[in-house]
Chains A and B, each alone.
Chain A
Amino acid sequence: MINVLAIVFGVFFGFSLNKAGLTKYHKIVNVFRFTDLAVLKFMMTALVVAMSGLYALRGLGLLTFPNVPATYVLGNLVGGLIFGVGMALTGY
């Protein structure tokens, strides 16, 4: 059951990424050139919707959170710094 759900969520995930244009090189790179902020708008909208929804549902006791990604300041920062290079290079 959970495997079917994974594929279904994946389909919607990929669909929204495609429709937002995040599958295109120029969309990703232009956000770093500040000429097209679609990626940022997309990410932040998703974040705001999901975080308010999730915290509201948890407050109502309808769901529990999975493992929250671990915080280790140096790793997250250095990883992010290297990731940005790859992202601006390939437009992933």
Chain B
Amino acid sequence: MKFILNYIRKEEWSPYVAGVLLGLVGITAVWASNNLLGASGAFENFAGMLGKALAPALFDNMYFNFIMPPGITYGVLLLVGVFFGGMIGAATSGTLLWGKRDAANSDAQLKSIFGPQVWKRWLLAFIGAIILEYAAGIAGGCTSGLAISGGMLLAPAAFLFIMGMFASGVLTALIIYRRRY
């Protein structure tokens, strides 16, 4: 028992242990709620809901009517849970930076590559998030929703997605890091 408590307090688990935990959560989610774990769809559900309220004509299209139904869906609630789960994870290891200065800009490697300015971090996150969400919309899911959740049902889509993701990810990292790669 003490061993388990101490392990929970560790900041960084063995990826194998964390992976087993996620695998078990994935199984339980399918078993208990007949749903998959996913993240990117939730943003589209939520954006669709906001869009329908603010500009109904603009959002009255195929995509938001049939493919991504707007509203507070299972995915949105899951994402709320993910937010708090991540916070609990950080709090148990004592690394929660909530409210601390420079909290969103604390990654040493990021600073050494892009510089220490906070606005660069925000800009990078904003542009990157647009790319990510757009790509997830095309592929039909993101790392969690398609690669992990689809992969555990042995969906071919998941493995095609992982192939593409690693091919361009390595290439992008090469371009950004150049000599430091």
Residues of chain A touching chain B, judged by Cβ–Cβ distance below 8 Å, are 2-3, 5-21, 23-26, 29-33, 38-39, 41-51, 53-55, 57, 62-66, 68-73, 75-92
Contact = CB atoms under 8 A, between A and B. Distances in A.
A73 to B, nearest CB: 6
Contacts, number: 329
Given A29-B173, A79-B136, A19 B13 contact: yes
Which of the listed residues B36, B77, B144 has the most CB atoms from chain A within 10 Å of its own CB?
B77
Interface of B: 10, 12-13, 15-37, 74-75, 77-90, 93, 107-110, 124-125, 127-132, 134-158, 160-173, 176-177, 181
B135 A83 contact: yes
Contact of B81 (A10, A63, A80): A10
Q: What 5 pairs across the A-B complex have the smallest Cβ distances?
A: A10-B81, A80-B164, A79-B139, A14-B85, A45-B19
Contact of B173 (A10, A32, A42, A64): A32
Given A47-B148, A73-B160, A82 B37 contact: no
Given A5-B33, A76-B157, A86 B27 contact: no
Contact of A90 (B27, B129, B137, B170): B129
B55 to A, nearest CB: 26
